[in-house]
A and B are shown apart, each in its own frame.
Chain A
Amino acid sequence: MRATTLTYASGAWTRDDKVTDPNLVLWFGSPKLARDAKIYDDLRARFPKALIAGCSTGGEIYNDEVHDGTAVAAAIRFDHTTVRACKVAVSAGSDSAKAGREIAAQLSDFGLRAVYLLSDGLMVNGAKLVQGLLADLPPEVVITGGLAGDGADFASTCVGLDGPAVPGVIAAIGFYGGKLNATWGSAGGWDPFGPQRKITRSEANVLYELDGKPALELYKRYLGEAAEQLPGSALLFPLVIRPEAESSYDVVRTIVGVDEKAQSLIFAGDMPQGWTAQLMRGVPDSLIDGALRAARQARVGEDSGDGSSLALLVSCIGRKLMMGQRISDEVEIIRAECGAIPTIGFYSYGEICPHGFTGSCTLHNQTMTITVLREAA
C-alpha cells in the first residue's frame, strides 16, 4: 500500500507523484470549497480510475496542521485490498437506521474488513445510522468515519461520492481482503461537572427537558453572552449520558441545532428519555491529553512514515471551538506519538468508531477519533 497527502491552495491541488494510480482518493474541504464542483473535477481529471469520496468540514487536518478554508486529500494505492463504495440519499427527518441497513446490504460481501463512512452532518441521526449498519454486518467489520461539518454554522453540510459534494448524502467505502489492517482509537478529554440530571422529556435525538426544566434554558444560563452564538457555542458544554447515574457505560453527545420555539436542543445522536445526563467542560490540556490517548489506542506508534500506512483523523468541531488557536496542539501530539505517517482529517459534527468500553461501533461526539489503514506484507 502507498498513500500520499495533497492540499488545495490558490485554486489548485498540490502535485505529488508518489501515488499516480490510486484506487481510492478521500478529500475533506471547507464548506465553501466543498460546495464548489471544481475540487472534485480537478481530482477526477488527475485520477480518472480512482474511487473519489469527500465531504465538507469544520476545519481541515493536514499532517500536523489544522487549517480553515482549505481542502486536503489522500491518494491511496492498495496492493491486496479492493475498495467498493455506495451512497444513500437522505433528507431531514428520514429514517437513518434504514439508510444504515441499505448500506450494509450494498457492501456486505465476502472479505469485507472495514467500512469508512462519510455522512451528511445535519440530516442524519448518526447513532441510528450506525445501529442500522451494525444490525446487518458481521461484528468483526471495523466501522469508522464521521459526519460532515459546516464550520460552526450548522446550516448545510455536503458529501460526494464519485461526483461533486451535495447535501443529503451518505457515502460508504467498503474495504475487502484479508491483508487490510484497520485500527482505531477514540478519546475525548472532557470532564463531567455539576449535578447529574435526568432526561425527563426527549424524542429520539431531540432533547426538551432535563429534570423537568427546558434544556435550552439551562444551556443559555451556562453560556451567558456566548448564548448568542448558539448552536455552535453549545459545543463548549457537551453532555455525557448514561443509562443510570452509576452506569459505567456512557457516551458523549453534542448539539447540532436549536429550536427556540420548542425550547429544544437537537443532538447528533439519540438522547434516550430516562437516562442520566451531566454537563461536561473542557480545558485545552485535558483535550490534548484525550487526543494522545486516542493515538495510543490506535497503536500506530511503530509506523515508519514511508507512506505504507495512512491515518484518517476525525475530530469534533466542539474541540476546535473550545481550543481556538491551540487546536493544532492535538494534531501535533498525535504526530509526535505516531510518527510522520501521511495524515489527513477534518473537524466534524460527529465521529463514528467502536466504543472503548463495549467495543461495538457507535456515534461519538467531542472526541478525537483516529483510523489507521495499512496492509500486511
Chain B
Amino acid sequence: MTEASRHRLLERQLKKAAGPDGAVDVDRLLELVSKAYDEYDNTLRLNDRAARLMSGELSELNDKLRQESEARAKISEALLQTVLDNADEAIISLGNDHMVLSANRVAEQTFGYRPGEMIGKPLSVLFECPDEAEDHQRFSDKGPQARALHVNEVQCRRSTGEAFPAELSFSRIPIENDVRLISFWRDISSRKAAQAELISAAEEAQAASLSKSNFLANMSHELRTPLNAIIGFSDLLLSELHGPALEVRHKEYIKDIADSGAHLLQLVNDILDLSRIESGRYDLVLEPIHLIDVTASVIRQLGPMSRKGQLELLDTISGALWLMADRRALRQVLYNLLSNAIKFTRPGGRVSLSATRVDEGVEIAVEDNGIGMPRDALPRLGNPFEQVANSYARAHGGAGLGLAITRKLVGLQNGVLSFDSELGVGSVFRVWLPIASALARTA
C-alpha cells in the first residue's frame, strides 16, 4: 500500500503511534485503530437508535394528530347534521356529475321522497322543465370564480309530478380536483299564492275606483243639464223680462231656488273635477309661471265677493317669483283657498295672501282671521268624501270637496299643502311649489 492511498485517519494514527525515533509502536497503533472502530460502531449505534426512537415518536404523534383530527371531524359532522336537520330550506348536495349525494329532511319532504330515496337521482328530476335543469348544471362549469351564490326562481317538480315554484341558489365547493355543489331550495308556492291574491285584490280595488270615477263624471254631467235649466229659468223670472212683476214673497222663493241651484252646480263641478283628477284625466302642463300674473287675476275675480262679505282682501305678493306649475291648476288652487277664506271670515275681518321663498320653492300663504276650525278636525281635512260627511263642514255649507281638490292639484304640481287653524281665531293654508329653474325659465 502506498503512502498516498492510505486513509488520512490511518496516517494520523501512524503519526501518533510513532516514537521519538520515528519507529511505529504497534501496540499503540492497534489501540488507536481499535478505538476508531469502536467510535465508528458507537456513532452508528447511536444514530440507529435515534432514528428508531424518532420514528416511533413521530408515528405516535401522527396517530395522536389523526385521532384529534378525527374527533374534530366528528364534531363538525354532528354540527353539520344538526344544521341540515333543522334548516328551513331544502339542502341538496350534488357531485360534479349532478347526481344527488345527500338531501336533508326538508328536501325530502319538499320534493316528496322517502328518506334516502333522493340519493343518486339526477338533478334534472327536480325541475319541471329539463332545459332549466341544464341551465343550472352549466353553473358548475364556470370555473372557480363562480363560487358565489346565485339566486333564481325556478319551477320544480315533486315526486308526485306536481309543479311548484322555488327559490334556488347554488354554492360551489372546489375539493382538490373535484367540485361539489350545494343547492338551497325554498318552496315559495304559498308566498306566490299570497302575492297573487294581493295583486288581484289591488286590481279589483283599482277597477272599482275607476268605475266610481267614471260614474261620478257621467252623473255630474247628467246633473248639470237640469241644473242649468233651473238656474237659467229662475234668473229669467227674477229679471222680470217675461212680464208683470212678481210678488216680493215669490221673488224671494225664486232667489232661493237660484242660489240653491248655483250651490248645487258648484258641488257638481267639484265632484267632476275630483273624479277627473282621480281617474287621471286632469291634464297638466307644468311650465314656468309668473306668480303675480295668476294672483292678480284671482284677486280681481274675488273682489266683488270680498266686498259683499265686507272684509279686507290683502295681497302682499310682489316681485318676480317664477314657479313650475300648471296655470289652470294653480289658479284653481288659489281661487279655492281664497274663496274659502272669504266664505269663513265674518264682516270686518281680513284675508291676506303672501308668498316667500322656502328652499327650492315658494310658499304661498292664505291667512284669515275667520271662524277657524277645531284642532281635532284638522287631521281629516282634505280627505275626499269624508269631508262631506263632516258635521262641521255641513253646518257651514259648501266647504265640501274644494280642499280635497286643492290638495290633489297641489300634489299633481309636485307641491305640498299644509294648514293650521284654531277655532274662533282663524286659519292659514300654505302651498309650497317648486321654483322654475333657470334652465326651465329660459326654455
Q: Which residue of B lies closest to A226 (CB)?
A: B46
Main secondary structure of the interface of B (DSSP, over half): helix
1/0 per residue, CB under 8 A from A, across B36-64: the answer is 10011011011101100110011001000
Q: Which residue of B lies closest to A284 (CB)?
A: B43
Chain B residues lying within 8 Å of A224, measured Cβ to Cβ, are: 45-46, 49
| B9 at interface, CB cutoff 8 A | yes
- The stretch that binds B, out of A28-36, A162-170, A295-303, A323-331, is A323-331
- Closest Cβ–Cβ distance, residue B58 to chain A (whole Å): 6
Q: Are the C-beta atoms of A281 and B47 separated by less than 8 Å?
A: yes
In the complex where A222-B49, A222-B53, A224-B49 touch, is A325 in contact with B43 (Cβ < 8 A)? no
| B13 at interface, CB cutoff 8 A | yes
| B32 at interface, CB cutoff 8 A | yes
Q: Are the C-beta atoms of A194 and B46 separated by less than 8 Å?
A: no
| B35 at interface, CB cutoff 8 A | yes
Taking residues whose C-beta sits less than 8 angstroms from the other chain, chain A's interface range is 20 to 34
Q: Which residue of B lies closest to A329 (CB)?
A: B8
| B192 at interface, CB cutoff 8 A | no
1/0 per residue, CB under 8 A from B, across A300-336: the answer is 0000000000000000000000101110110010000
Chain A residues lying within 8 Å of B43, measured Cβ to Cβ, are: 283-284, 322, 324
Chain A residues lying within 8 Å of B36, measured Cβ to Cβ, are: 324-325
Q: Are the C-beta atoms of A325 and B12 separated by less than 8 Å?
A: yes
Q: Are the C-beta atoms of B39 and A325 separated by less than 8 Å?
A: yes
Q: Which residue of A lies closest to B44 (CB)?
A: A283
Chain A residues lying within 8 Å of B46, measured Cβ to Cβ, are: 223-224, 226, 236, 281
- Closest Cβ–Cβ distance, residue A261 to chain B (whole Å): 25
Q: Which residue of B lies closest to A236 (CB)?
A: B46
The CA-CA distance from A329 to B36 in the complex, in Å, is 14
Chain B residues lying within 8 Å of A221, measured Cβ to Cβ, are: 53
| A184 at interface, CB cutoff 8 A | no
Q: Are the C-beta atoms of B39 and A194 separated by less than 8 Å?
A: no
Instruction: List residues of A (263-298) whose CB comes within 8 Å of B's CBs.
Output: 279, 281, 283-284
- Closest Cβ–Cβ distance, residue A369 to chain B (whole Å): 23
Q: Are the C-beta atoms of B61 and A195 separated by less than 8 Å?
A: yes
1/0 per residue, CB under 8 A from B, across A173-204: the answer is 00000000000000000000111000000000
The CA-CA distance from A283 to B35 in the complex, in Å, is 17
User: Which B residues contact A (CB, under 8 angstroms)?
Assistant: 8-9, 12-13, 32, 35-36, 39-40, 42-43, 45-47, 49-50, 53-54, 57-58, 61
Sampled A-B contacts (17; CB under 8 Å): A193-B50, A194-B50, A195-B57, A195-B58, A221-B53, A222-B50, A226-B46, A237-B50, A279-B50, A283-B43, A283-B47, A324-B35, A324-B36, A324-B43, A325-B12, A328-B12, A332-B8
List 18 other contacts, CB 8 Å, given A194-B58, A324-B39, A325-B39. Answer: A193-B50, A193-B54, A195-B54, A195-B58, A222-B50, A223-B46, A224-B46, A226-B46, A236-B46, A237-B50, A281-B47, A281-B50, A283-B43, A324-B36, A325-B13, A326-B39, A328-B12, A329-B8
User: Which A residues contact B (CB, under 8 angstroms)?
Assistant: 193-195, 221-224, 226, 236-237, 279, 281, 283-284, 322, 324-326, 328-329, 332
